[in-house]
Structure 1
């Protein structure tokens, strides 16, 4: 049982571009058409439908002409007859995608592709009078398809099951505890599953089938496994008792069967979760594994029924985690091994290795991980031990080897998951209870009637990853002014600190949904979830997150903006009631790029209120980071790259922060964009990516090095020097995003292209020793005054009143 948060990222292999794949497919089709000239032409479809599906998935990022070439090729490969065998053999969503690719419109094709993100790939099925019908919502949004393509086939039916555990009830009776369901069909419309024992030897006559007594029970975690927003599977649990008394002493397979309408589905029961296997029963039966199937067999000579369950392998020198518990927000793992001197335990992923605080005593060892520490990213990890010259993966002890163990901290939750080889993985996840994490539970929360609006404000910054930026500055200003309305702050987990005077709500919890749906005013700096639609009387203040340098949305190349994001923004931008912009040019660019036609308030970014702290904030920030007042400090804050969003992606080489520190003698503050994760462990390089205030970092720094980030416009208020380091200028400008106007040529700032140029220019600017002027707080205060006045009007029931202030402009032609 794995949730998305459990995945331990290992990196992805490089793949060829869409155009190269398209050319290769066209060449392969042409070659196979010649080879199969005298045979059934439908064979082409059987050979190449998978490649067509893969290319169709990326079609939304391609030019119209390229998509049309793919559609033309699909028409020559796929059968025109909707009753052809190929269509019958494909799952419904694959049939829909390929049929629309070949015979539908491009608009319908994009709708089908987007539905996989917006609706998920789950297909709701309906059972009526013995007939099964598929009801994927996407069919209601595209042109009608041939009825035979929408019929449920064998390819649409399967069993998904989990065996949580098995145990001996007595010498002859084996108890199986698990869940099983047919995806798309709620358990309430199906009879209880049947479980039978079949001879493992296929040559033995099947008349020796033995049935089991099956009792239905609740399976609270089945919805997490299903990943289905349309159906609940909590009623799919079962408890089966297999009576082996009097059976011939031969190996038996356990098979589970479910009747869905006229179809009888059957599947071997898998091994139980975890790695340990039951000890033999006193009556001479053993439970084993044959591939992916549970095997019940006579006990072999020398096997003993005494003792406890053992792992299915026996590594030497293994470190076993016997227990896990929470002490507040501290995860405490413990075990006992002989000669554990020098033992160290760490959590390892492809992104980071987290050392646990490991203590060894005569009684055993403990390893502690602070779940409230924001420097430890959420996600999936495996546990690794080192001791002397040896290392290995930690093994799950008896009490942890089975279904995942979940522990609920205040800041975050942790899931410990034994693997088939006996090792132990863990996932650090948001503090959202299991009953609220499934897609089905989320849909219920989305559709819940949360009651009337209340005079409160909901703030969200970058989907809860932060509580700063413009929404945070507006929130803090309202608190400073003594606002009396509730202020809810969206956070992804309890590691995101929220100032006194506001209430944190964790994304995905009922409290978060309630605040989002009932707050009279929403203050955001990015998009909300794709499914969000505001209440008719709600008001949205979109602060955005800086002056755009890079082309946005409608102005950006199609390939740089995903189809789901384009659709999401098309729905949400018209819901905004006010947009902030730093300058008239920024207002024009935001309007055009985002397709926004509502009022704009032009003025200094509210987030720059953090610059008003001046020298006092600079000194305190340096002390916090361990930097003396006489040291030179460089803030390196590049924008995000698509190639850096995936491990081992096609990422450009930007700037070697360690080499920069060595060349200049400065401390380098490395500030990654929230969508990337740059790493540099060099001496005198500090990772400040999770620091709550970039404005405080700016005040503590003497020089900014950036590239295409809007931080450069905020930095200008400090009066300190900046360098634009753009080693990938042509690629970013011409292929990835493109720029508004002539950036960086019209920036008025020094530009470097190589490491050596950046080091030399940084050293030169740091050596000038010029004292920066004080930040002029007038424009910042003026913006905050105008925004707070508008907020007061909204909360007073006057959301249609447009803000009026000096400097506001209408859209320019």
Structure 2
């Protein structure tokens, strides 16, 4: 009830402030999922600033939402419920990386572009309108009606994302996502110079022996792990059974990592969960182990081996969100259900690199590192 009252208050102030004229080249950035410099919204805002064409920016970040929810001071409340809807009501462009539920109680003004950049480059798991039910589904559907541009990587994702957001195919643009530009630039630089700067940076920062091969282990977030982190037991078992030339870089969800980060890890496991530059981790690694995480849609650009440790596949399928496609045949790598199977796959190097290449080509319309340029051109178009 408290949240709903907050949504109403935000919307009321927004509608009052629509009486003011729109501010040309004003950009309202909603970073409710990723407020870091490497997020899609931050990248576009930065590139627009660098063009020095008179754009002005205002930000609503995840930390602002948490401060308002926690009622942490009058200034935080005044900012969230008065200043931010005022700026949003007068903005010409609204960028966002997540569902913003106050949108369910208001409507964008004419000629305002609402650009949903999302925070995932792709998805294995179902999400949004495909899984939510009840009031949440209803509110998300209403909020998403404001979207004028939904940005995805390729034509193969248009229908899926249109369904998950409950929007028309006509507002989905397969032009690529900004955060992949930097990764593609680094991959090209590595190929041109044969110098892996990211590997050098990660190995030095975390004191990883140069002779070791780094396996990046990035499991998806599971709600049940907030109290019972089974993954730590499994990763310890893996570390003990792997060939001696390998070490493991652990990339947990930050919430899980913060809660269990003090636990003693096997010396062959390096805690990389708090590294802000995920692109560096991917380029520094030799192999990716994951399960149902969307990281594969970025890691496939490196064309390095991936394997899928689906230790709780049945449980996750039955109690989780479910998948858009058949998991075993869709993921670009071998699937293992036990640590022994994972170790055997690594020992035998039984990867299908052609399958990874095909996966990349299916999910990227462009591989030129110019997604940001295309988006900025799209934003500059007049209705």
Q: Could you say which TM-score interval applies, normalised by the shorter chain?
A: 0.7 to 0.9
In the other structure, the counterpart of 1:721 is 305
Q: Measured at CA, do residues 453 and 525 of structure 1 come closer, stay the same or move farther in structure 2, by a change above 3 Å?
A: same
Where does residue 117 of structure 2 map in the other structure? 543
Question: 2:31 touches 2:41 (CA, 8 Å); kept in 1?
Answer: yes
Bigger relative contact order (CA 8 A; separation at least 6): 2
Q: Specify which of 327, 338, 349 is matched with residue 743 of structure 1.
A: 327
Question: What is the rounded CA distance, in whole Å, between the counterparts of 2:375 and 2:197 in structure 1?
Answer: 26
More off after superposition, 614-623 vs 633-642: 614-623
Question: Paired residue for 1:602, among 174, 192, 200?
Answer: 174
Closer, same or farther in 2 for the Cα pair 1:484/1:697, shift >3 Å?
farther
How far, CA to CA, are the matches of 1:476 and 1:630 in structure 2?
38
1:627 aligns with 2:202: no
Partner Cα separation in structure 2 for residue 540 and residue 579 of structure 1:
9
Query: In 2 relative to 1, CA 789–710 (structure 1 residues): closer, same or farther, beyond 3 Å?
Result: same
Cα drift, residue 480 of structure 1:
4.7
Preserved contact between residue 641 and residue 676 of structure 1 (Cα < 8 Å): no
Provide, for residues 258-290 of structure 1, a one-character-per-residue CA deviation record: whole Å limited to 9, x for no partner: xxxxxxxxxxxxxxxxxxxxxxxxxxxxxxxxx
1:519 paired to 2:91: yes
Change (3 A) 1:444 1:541: closer
Tell me what 2:22 maps to: 453
Distance between the aligned counterparts of 2:130 and 2:11, measured in 1? 33
Q: State the distance in 1 between where 2:205 and 2:53 align.
A: 30
Between the aligned partners of 2:88 and 2:207, the Cα distance in structure 1 is 39
Decide whether the 8 Å contact of 1:474 with 1:606 is kept in 2. yes
Higher helix share: 2
**249, 260, 277: which one aligns with 1:669:** 249
Matching residue within 104, 129, 147 for 1:554: 129
Aligned-partner Cα distance in 2 for 1:491–1:720: 34
Q: TM-score, normalised by structure 2?
A: 0.75
2:333 aligned with 1:761: no
1:638 aligned residue: 219
User: Distance between the aligned counterparts of 1:466 and 1:516, measured in 2?
Assistant: 21
Q: Distance in 2 between matches of 1:508 and 1:627?
A: 47
**Structure 2 CA distance, aligned partners of 1:632 and 1:507?**
49
The structure-2 alpha-carbon separation of the partners of 1:628 and 1:727, relative to structure 1 and needing over 3 Å to count, comes to same
SS at the partner of 1:526? coil
CA offsets per residue over residues 548-568 of structure 1, 9 Å max, x none? 211223333xxxx36443122
Structure 1 residue 581: Cα displacement? 1.7
Which residue pairs with 2:280 in the alignment? 696
CA contact (8 A) 1:467 1:489 kept: no
Distance (whole Å) between structure 2 residues aligned to residue 563 and residue 470 of structure 1: 30
SS in 2 for 1:744: helix
**Unpaired segments ≥5 residues, structure 2:** 65-74, 188-195
2:329 is paired with a residue whose SS is coil
Deviation per residue, 1:464-506 (Å, 9 max, x gap): 5544332233334434544541233443449xxxxxxxxxx98
SS of the equivalent of 1:575 reads coil
Equivalent runs, 1:443-592 vs 2, <5 Å: 449=17, 451-454=20-23, 455-463=25-33, 465-493=35-63, 509-510=79-80, 511-530=83-102, 533-537=106-110, 538-544=112-118, 545-556=120-131, 561=132, 563-592=134-163
Q: Residue 591 of structure 1: CA displacement?
A: 1.2
Residue range with higher mean Cα deviation, 482-491 or 596-605: 482-491
Alpha-carbon shift at residue 741 of structure 1 (Å):
1.7
Q: Which of the pair has more CA radius of gyration?
A: 1
Deviations 1:179-221 (A, max 9, x none): xxxxxxxxxxxxxxxxxxxxxxxxxxxxxxxxxxxxxxxxxxx
Q: What root-mean-square deviation, in Å, do the aligned CA atoms of Structure 1 and Structure 2 show?
A: 3.7
Q: Is the 8 A contact 1:491 1:506 kept in 2?
A: no
Instruction: Evaluate the alpha carbon distance shift between residue 506 and residue 624 of structure 1 in structure 2; reply closer, same or farther with a 3 A threshold.
Output: farther
Q: Report the 3-state secondary structure (helix = DSSP H, G, I; strand = E; otherwise coil) of the residue aligned with 2:367.
A: helix
The verdict on how the C-alpha distance between 1:695 and 1:487 changes in structure 2, with shifts beyond 3 A counting, is: farther
Q: Who is 1:6 aligned against?
A: none
Partner of 2:369: 781
Contact 1:578 1:600 in 2 (8 A): yes
Please tell me whether the aligned partners of residues 704 and 723 of structure 1 are also in contact (alpha carbons under 8 angstroms).
yes
Find the aligned partners of 2:123 and 2:179 in 1 and give their Cα distance: 16
Within 2, Cα distance between the matches of 1:526 and 1:693? 20
User: Distance in 1 between the 2:280 and 2:3 partners?
Assistant: 38
Given that residues 460 and 525 in structure 1 are in contact (C-alpha distance below 8 angstroms), is that contact kept between their aligned partners in structure 2? yes
Deviation at 1:723, TM superposition (A): 0.8
Instruction: Determine the structure 2 residue equivalent to 1:235.
Output: none
Q: Could you tell me whether the CA contact under 8 Å between 2:152 and 2:172 is conserved in 1? A: yes
> Is the contact made by 1:661 and 1:684 (CA closer than 8 Å) also made in structure 2?
yes
Distance 1:457 1:599 in 2: 19
Which TM-score applies when normalising by structure 1? Answer: 0.38
Per-residue Cα deviation, 1:355-387 (whole angstroms, up to 9, x for no partner):
xxxxxxxxxxxxxxxxxxxxxxxxxxxxxxxxx
1:643 is displaced (CA, Å) by 2.0
Change (3 A) 1:458 1:720: same
Matches for 1:16-35 after TM superposition, within 5 Å? none
